[in-house]
Amino acid sequence: MIKVQDCILDRNRDLNSGDFESNFAKYISLYSGDSEIQHNYMAENMVDKIASVLSQIHSSLGKQSFLSDPDVIAEFPKGLPSDFYHGIAWNGLKFTDLWRYNLPDRVSYEKYQRVGAENLTYNCNSN
């Protein structure tokens, strides 16, 4: 689990150990209302964690059905690429500086996002 302290550590080393209320107030003052800052932080620091969680939960959300889909097989005949979930993780971070200006794997990730958008259709609210 990501803690508020982890989110603001790089910007403000003056944290009150164990004082959630104070630390959360600092977080709000740094990030509130500025989704660009929040998303840039996630792009720079959290994509690996997001990709890991997506990989772990996919098996509970219809992964076998996804892998059996003829369109997915056609796109990935040897199985999902090792960085597939990284590509999916970047889907919500396309307006960040890192995505726009300095992401060498962007073309591959865009392909993964397209295949995901067309074939990752599990409705989490159906249960």
pLDDT at site 5: 44
| 74 plus 88 within the same structural domain | yes
**Average pLDDT, stretch 114-119?**
88
pLDDT value at residue 8: 44
Domains of the chain: total: 2
**Whether residues 60 and 47 fall in one domain:** yes
Which residue range(s) make up the domain with 15? 1-32
- What are the pLDDT digits (tens) for 9-64? 444 456 666 777 777 777 777 766 666 777 888 888 899 999 999 999 998 888 99
Same domain, 68 and 96: yes
Q: How many CB atoms lie within 10 A of CB 84?
A: 22
Query: Using 50, 70 and 90 to split pLDDT, how confident is the model at 125?
Result: low
Supply the pTM of this predicted model. Answer: 0.68
Residue 115 sits in the same domain as residue 67: yes
